[in-house]
């Protein structure tokens, strides 16, 4: 078998009724990453499965059975308690499925039965309900089977998040996201809505005008609320020429009260998008934080992943940003990139340490369906996609050595090795917006093509989304409709 080739396995998860399918499916996917898992119902004949897990709901019990081609059989049964609510039933079902899969695979999962992307949100909820750190830790281990290491990490982060968010007004405040969907080139692993700038150069001015209309409209809709943070992302906003960048930043400043912002971030992610002129344009506005993202400090990998810039350019861009006066610079890293193992990551960390950024965000490569890396996966079969706990620990250790502590965390679907993304920051340098988007504490109004607005209301208990179209031409042409969608959402829910 070729290195990296996945054996042909197909797992069927069969239900006798529609109930908690996605929860069971997600858990099965965690135990069998890269395997085709399909949900089916009743006696419906699906494809040939190598393994089948059936979940049958009866009046007083739930039976879970496992069977594979080798005729191995296993089962779990839960006696239902009429005092259980839906969440408790779901948690018990996941426990049973977890135990069964653990026996079958001989593996345990670092995050236990938790399959969602926001484990710290759960911990935060427990903290807010008055539970002590040790009670939470015990609960995480006993109810969700989370490993001691991940339990400690999530409890530490939730406490720090709580401290960082203490001055944020959940009820009357909100945050703003501004999307600039252009990049110098498209990275191989990209799953965002971003387009090569060259392709849209002629219409970039029209995009800026449409965005400015949305900015003014939203400023009017939100005038009775307090703006806490602004995040300009995309894409890479600094892909825009300096005059457009300045025009958008000026518009934000004119339309919104920016004097009492807790944070104002501009993504300057791609080093090949940066010039002194652009950085100086950003500095003329109340931007407090930028991000210059190496992803890796190995030229060979940069070429493979289509970043079209060199390590030298990253170093120069970072130094230029410091020279322009930025005192809060984040750097993003990805571990698990094609062809990279321990040695390559060690080299990247060494180079980053020399630059000493103020925060470091470590992503574990997630191969989402839309990314070209997944579309052309055949091409990369010869390459290893390595990530392991030792590598994750190396990144954590590097952050600690630079005087940083973890402050936010999230997980992604299809993540190499089932790890998580962790943000580390020095004291007072944490990205507040990053926490807000994970903890879903207040509304985030997203402007620009691909913007996904989250309206958090009813004291944080409910969330409604309002989406903008992703396509740039569509966004320009349908800007009035985008504004109207927001107006309806905001007046209905906030």
> Given 3-state DSSP classes, what are the helix, strand and coil percentages for the chain, each rounded to the nearest 5?
45, 20, 35
Nearer to ligand SF4, 269 or 448 (CB): 269
Output the smallest distance, CB 195 to ligand SF4, in A.
9
Residue closer to ligand SF4 by CB (options 235, 489) is 235
- In the complex, the smallest distance separating the C-beta of residue 417 from ligand SF4, rounded to whole angstroms, is 20
Q: How far apart are CB 103 and ligand SF4 at their closest, in Å?
A: 39
Q: How far is the CB of 232 from ligand SF4 (least distance, A)?
A: 13
CB 286 within 8 A of CB 264: yes
Decide whether 121 or 270 has the Cβ nearer to ligand SF4: 270
Q: Is the four-CA dihedral 36, 42, 47, 49 of positive or negative sign? A: positive
Q: Rule CB under 6 A: which residues touch ligand SF4?
A: 183, 186-187, 190, 192, 194, 234-236, 269-270
Least Cα distance to 197 among 209, 185, 188 occurs for 185
User: Of 24 and 183, which has the nearer Cβ to ligand SF4?
Assistant: 183
Decide whether 49 or 192 has the Cβ nearer to ligand SF4: 192
Paired residues of 408 in beta bridges: 423
Is omega for the bond preceding 209 within 30 degrees of 0, making it cis? no
Q: CA angle, 445 as apex, 126 and 359 as ends, to 5°? A: 65
Shortest distance (Å) from residue 65 CB to ligand SF4: 42
DSSP 3-state of 244: helix
CB of 98 to ligand SF4, least distance (A): 33
- Nearer CB in complex with ligand SF4: 308/478: 308
Nearer to ligand SF4, 303 or 480 (CB): 303
Between CA 71 and CA 78, with CA 77 as vertex, the angle to 5 degrees is 160
* Element housing 102 (H / E): helix 86-105
Element at 281 (helix H, strand E): helix 276-283
Structure letter (DSSP) for residue 209: H
Closest to 360 in 3D by CA, of 334, 331, 335, 336 = 331
What is the closest distance, in whole angstroms, from the C-beta atom of residue 470 to ligand SF4 in the complex?
13
What distance in Å separates the CA atoms of residue 288 and residue 265, rounded to the nearest whole number?
6
């Amino acid at each position: 078998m070729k290195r990296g080739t996945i054996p042909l396995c197909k797992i069927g998860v069969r239900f006798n009724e529609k109930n908690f399918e996605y929860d069971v499916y997600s858990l099965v996917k965690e135990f069998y990453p890269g395997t085709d898992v399909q949900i089916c119902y009743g006696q419906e004949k699906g494809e040939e499965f190598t393994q089948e897990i059936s979940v049958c709901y009866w009046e007083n019990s739930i039976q879970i059975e496992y069977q594979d081609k080798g005729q191995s059989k296993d089962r779990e049964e839960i006696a239902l308690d009429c005092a259980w609510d839906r969440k408790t039933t779901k948690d018990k079902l996941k426990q049973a499925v977890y135990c069964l899969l653990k026996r079958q695979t001989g593996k345990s999962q670092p995050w236990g039965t938790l399959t969602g992307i926001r484990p710290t949100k759960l911990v935060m909820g427990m903290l807010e309900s008055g539970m002590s750190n040790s009670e939470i830790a015990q609960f995480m281990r006993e109810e969700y089977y989370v490993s001691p290491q991940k339990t400690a990490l999530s409890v530490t982060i939730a406490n720090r998040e709580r401290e960082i968010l203490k001055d944020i007004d959940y009820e009357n405040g909100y945050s703003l996201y501004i999307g600039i969907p252009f990049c110098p080139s498209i990275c191989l692993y990209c799953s965002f809505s971003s387009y090569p700038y060259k392709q849209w150069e002629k219409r970039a001015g029209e995009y800026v005008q449409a965005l400015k209309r949305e900015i003014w409209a939203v400023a009017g809709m939100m005038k009775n609320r307090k703006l806490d943070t602004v995040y300009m992302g995309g894409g890479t906003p600094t892909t825009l020429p300096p005059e457009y960048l300045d025009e958008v930043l000026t518009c934000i400043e004119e339309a919104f009260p920016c004097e009492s912002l807790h944070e104002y971030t501009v993504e300057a992610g791609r080093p090949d998008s940066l010039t002194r002129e652009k950085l100086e344009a950003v500095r003329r506005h109340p931007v407090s934080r930028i991000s210059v993202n190496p992803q890796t400090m190995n030229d060979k990998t940069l070429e493979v992943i289509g970043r079209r810039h060199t390590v030298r350019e990253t170093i120069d861009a970072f130094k230029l940003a410091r020279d322009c006066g930025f005192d809060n610079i984040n750097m993003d890293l990805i571990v698990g990139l094609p062809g990279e193992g321990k040695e390559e990551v060690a080299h990247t960390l060494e180079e980053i340490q020399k630059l000493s950024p103020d925060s470091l965000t470590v992503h574990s490569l997630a191969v989402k369906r839309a990314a070209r890396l997944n579309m052309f996966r055949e091409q990369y079969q010869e390459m290893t996609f390595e990530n392991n706990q030792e590598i994750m620990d190396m990144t954590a250790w590097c952050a600690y050595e630079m005087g940083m502590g973890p402050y936010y965390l999230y997980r992604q679907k299809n993540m190499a090795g089932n790890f998580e993304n962790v943000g580390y920051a020095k004291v007072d340098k944490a990205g507040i917006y990053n926490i807000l988007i994970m903890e879903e504490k207040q509304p985030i109004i997203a402007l620009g093509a691909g913007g996904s607005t989250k309206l958090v209301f009813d004291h944080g208990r409910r969330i409604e989304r309002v989406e903008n179209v992703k396509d740039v031409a569509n966004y320009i042409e349908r800007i009035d409709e985008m504004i109207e969608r927001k107006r309806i959402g905001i007046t209905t829910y906030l």
